[in-house]
Structures are given as structure tokens and as C-alpha cells.
Structure 1
């Protein structure tokens, strides 16, 4: 019972700090995911572009960020970008100093990694839609952007939801990596609590329960979105009359 009091709110407990860490974790994931989805479409477009330099850049981007460990990407971005910014600041205004927020560094690093995998989700969804839908939209005289918005995207989203749902779960868990650059997420707060109380099992168990709850809720939300996106379609994928 004395151990459980360490999770209490107020003085003497770590409940307040854990809730703030949970808020940081959710804020980072929610801020990163839209950026990662937008980049996923951009990377897919680059990988399938007709211009060879653009296509090579897209392929190199996807290969690089799928190959590097996420924590290495984060550390390189945080520390090397910090050094580059300071070098530029010294050249532009001697004596000045610039710093990168750990939150922004985490957002950018995780967006780069998730979008590399997200481009594969977009590619698979595009293939599932089929080239015929693009040709049908063009036959109706729709401009490419309007055709994509009105014809392709609603169908593509239905096929992409499972893949993007899995990436959201991966992103939720990968936010724990930002603890290495001192962002006060769930994992960082747990480490501070453990260093103070010497109760590793209690705090790792507590944040483990929170992560399981987040993933469970996310999975249920994903199922609901998939059911909503599949309304009007048969099991074979054809639309009901």
C-alpha cells in the first residue's frame, strides 16, 4: 500500500507528473501524425515521379529512414541540427545562440521515420484503388487535383486506414524515445521517479498499463473508422447499389 501511495496525486506522489508526461506523449503523437501522413503522400509522389532526380530522392528518403534506427535518427537530428543552427547563428550574428526544442526535434524525427513507412501504405492503397479510377475521372473531365480529392481519396482512405492505424500505434510507442533528449514524456517521468524512489517495477508497470490502454483505445477507434469507411461496400470491395 505504501508503494501505491507513490502514484498518488499531490505532494509525496508522482501522479501529477505521470499525467503531465501522458499529456506530452499524446501531444507529440497527435502533432506528429498529420505531418507524417502528409509526408507519406509527398514521398510516394516523389518515388513515382517521372523526373529521375525526384524519383531517386524519394527512393533514397524511404530507404534511409527505414534503415536507420529511430533513436539514431532522433539523436542525429537533435544534436547535429543543433550544431548547424549554432554555426549559422554565429555567422549571421556573432555571440547569438539558437536551440532546438526537444518537442520539435521529436516531431520532425518521428515524422521522417513514420512517413518512410507511410509511403508504402499509400503505394499499396493506390494499387488497391486501381488505375481505372484515375482514367474514369479523367474521362469525366475532372482536373487531376479535383479527381484525386473527389474520386481517388475516398477510396484510397478505406484501403489505407489499416496501415495508417498500425503506424499510429507504432508512433505512440516510439514517442518514448524522446526521453533520451530530456523531453518529459511518460518514459522520462518514470525514469525520474525511479531514480528518486528506487521503485522501478512500480513505475514501469504504471506506464506500461497506460501504454496498453492507449493502444487498446486506438485499436477500437481504428476499427470504428474502418467500419465507417467500408459502409456501402461488399466483402469483395464492390459498392452496393
Structure 2
């Protein structure tokens, strides 16, 4: 049915999943940092985080992908000679793809985490401080567990969109599932078959993710009505 290209598509599927997971790790770190900045007492950090989320959410993902890959490569090779590096520096497409997607979805997770933290009654943190807890203890024992539960629906939606957005890395030469499907479609002249197979691959990842996230929601929210993911 797939003319022997199934192993190639599965290899692309593994790479796609790797890009998604690595991008999510970057996005979570940026999201937590951005949420902390937006909720901080520093006007500078609040403004910086607001500029970050506003700009990133207002520029198409494809444009950012091309800017980071091509613009970043140009910038690196402009700077490299001043650092004593005379050879041409190639930016790895995997690194560029992960950095771009992580940077993009970090902006969305910033708002997700900020909203979840704001939904926690402020008096709980004050009570923790009144019992002598340090700020880090208050965050770890009181704020973080509740933030994770409240942020889970928004986090889940961002993860599902991120998985689909990994298709963009094919435009910078990364041999992900879309790139593999395109190569097979070109060789066999059966684009419908192979792009349908790629769609099935993405559907497999997102379906498994939804099931896992629902199980996680039940585990973290005993006695709380579930929110449909």
C-alpha cells in the first residue's frame, strides 16, 4: 500500500515527536519565566513579558520559522569572523525548529500559566507565608500543585496545536514526517496516499495525547468536575 515507504514515514514520525517534545520543554521554561515576569513587582519585567507575548502571538509561525533559520544563520556568520571562526557555520534545522516552536509556544504558555496562578486565591499564599514558609516553599507546596491543575486544559490545547505546528519544520529542510511524506509522494506520484498517511500520524499522536492528558486530569483533580480537553 505504501510501496515500502512505511519505515521512512515511521522514522519521520519519531523525529516529529522528538521536535514536539523538545519544543514543549523550551516552551514550558519560557512560559514559567514569562508568567513570573508578568506577575512580578518590576515594571520593566512586566513590560518585557508583555512585548514578548504580544509580538510572538501577532506574527505567523511560518514567518518566525524562516526568520530564525535564515536570519539567525546570517547573523551567526556575520559574528563568527569577529570571534576567530573563519568557516561557514550551519545552523542545525532541528535546533532552529525546536528553538522557534519553543519560543512561539512559550508566549502562549505564559498566558496559560499566568491565568492559572491568578485563579488561585491570594489568601492561600499569604497563609503559607504566615506559617513561616519561604517564597520558594509557598510556590512549591501551595501555588504549583494548584497551578498545574488549573493550567492543564490550556496546556493540553497548546500541546495539541504545537504537535500540528511541527509540520512547519519541513520548510527548513528537517526530514520530519511531512518531509518524508513529500519525498514519497514525489517518487510515487501518489500525494494523496502519503499525505493522508502523514495526517494519520499526526492524528495518532494527538489522540494518544488527549487520552494521556485526560488520565492526568483525573489524577490531579479528585473530586473536581473534569474539563473536556
Interval containing the TM-score (normalised by the shorter chain): over 0.9
Structure 1 runs, 4 residues or longer, greater than 4 Å off: none
1:40 aligns with 2:31: yes
Q: Which structure 2 residues correspond to residues 1-241 of structure 1 after superposition, within 5 A?
A: 4-6=1-3, 13-93=4-84, 95-231=86-222, 233-235=223-225
- Tell me by how many angstroms 1:94 deviates: 5.4
In structure 2, stretches of 5+ residues that fail to align are none
- Ranked by relative contact order (alpha carbons within 8 Å, sequence separation 6 or more), the top structure is 2
Aligned-residue CA RMSD (Å): 1.4
- Tell me by how many angstroms 1:48 deviates: 2.5
Q: Partner residue of 1:9?
A: none
Name the larger-Rg structure. 1
Q: Residue 103 and residue 137 in structure 1: after superposition, are their counterparts in 2 closer, same or farther (change >3 A)?
A: same
Query: 2: distance between equivalents of 1:36 and 1:132?
Result: 29
- Number of residue pairs the alignment of both structures matches: 226
Report the TM-score, using the length of structure 1 for normalisation. 0.90
Q: Secondary structure at the match of 1:129?
A: coil
